[in-house]
Amino acid sequence: MVKLGVLISGTGSNLKAVLDAIDQGRLAAEVAVVISNVPSAKGLEHARARGIPALVIDHKAFDGRAAFDASLVDTLRAHEVDWVVLAGFMRVITPVLLDAFPYRIVNIHPALLPSFPGMHAQKQAFEYGVRIAGCTVHLVDAGTDTGPILAQAAVPVFDSDDASTLSARILAEEHQLLPRVLQWIVEGRVDVERPLGGGRARVRVNVDSR
């Protein structure tokens, strides 16, 4: 069974979507550990309710990002994690974590990348005035929300929307997309091609439609 380590910072509704997909047999994986960098993160409860180790590693307790990431790596390795899932994890990660899980870190981002990377992506998109918004699941590389895209889902933006109603519509799609892509990974449908001599990696996702 593929073991996932899920990193969160807040509500954890995407974590819950992953756990529900596992419970319902839509995702053949195990969440081996959940780690939050925020001690009060509500999402930890979704793991604890299922008896899954739910740990706090507070970034504020570390002297710099690399030391924090080294602690994450130690903990993920201690739980024999195969793939790391960033599910609303609001920290920039360093090569310490990237190199420990090369092209094995998945992020969900609430915008159609490469538009609107970074924080408050839904608000950025709303304020720009886009007519189509959405979410992206991608592999993490050294940039901010720049890694190879695995799948995207689009939603309409209505004139009656505000940033909050749009965010809710996007989040509902995130809850569908993230477990689906993780199941593709489990099924071995995701191949990463790294060009010799460096350059941007490409992914092949061997599914009929995405």
The binding site for (6R)-10-formyltetrahydrofolate comprises 65, 107
Q: Calculate ∠ Cα 33-30-28, nearest 5°.
A: 155
- Does residue 59 have an active-site annotation? no
| 52 scored as a contact of ligand GAR (CB under 6 A) | no
The reply to whether 134 sits near ligand GAR by the rule CB under 6 A is no
Q: Which of 11, 94, 115, 152 binds ligand GAR (CB under 6 A)?
A: 11
Nearest-CB residue to ligand GAR?
Answer: 88
- Asked if residue 163 lies in contact with residue 126, where contact means CB atoms within 8 angstroms, the answer is yes
**6 neighbors 105 (Cβ within 8 angstroms):** no
d(CA 106, CA 127): 27
171: contact with ligand GAR by CB under 6 A:
yes
87 counts as binding ligand GAR under rule CB under 6 A: yes
Mark the segment that binds ligand GAR (CB under 6 A) among 5-13, 26-34, 60-68, 193-201.
Answer: 5-13
Helices (H), ranges, the chain: 13-23, 44-48, 65-78, 95-100, 121-128, 163-186
Q: Which residues are annotated as a binding site?
A: 12-14, 65, 107
103 contacts: CB under 8 Å, gap ≥ 6: 139, 141, 148, 192, 194, 201
Among 12, 134, 147, 148, which residue sits at the site for ligand GAR (rule: CB under 6 A)?
Answer: 12
Q: What's the CA gap between 138 and 147, in Å, rounded?
A: 6
Cβ distance to ligand GAR smaller for residue 77 or 156: 156
Task: Answer whether the bond into residue 114 is a cis peptide, omega within 30°.
Answer: yes
121 near ligand GAR, judged by CB under 6 A: yes
Q: Which of 109, 120, 138, 175 is catalytic?
A: 109
Taking phi over 0 as left and psi of -120 to 50 as alpha, with beta for the rest, 16 belongs to: alpha
**109 binds ligand GAR per the rule CB under 6 A:** yes
108 binds ligand GAR (CB under 6 A): yes
How many residues bind ligand GAR, per CB under 6 A? 15
Give me the residues that bind ligand GAR (CB under 6 A), please: 8, 10-14, 43, 87-88, 108-110, 121, 171, 174
- Catalytic site positions: 109
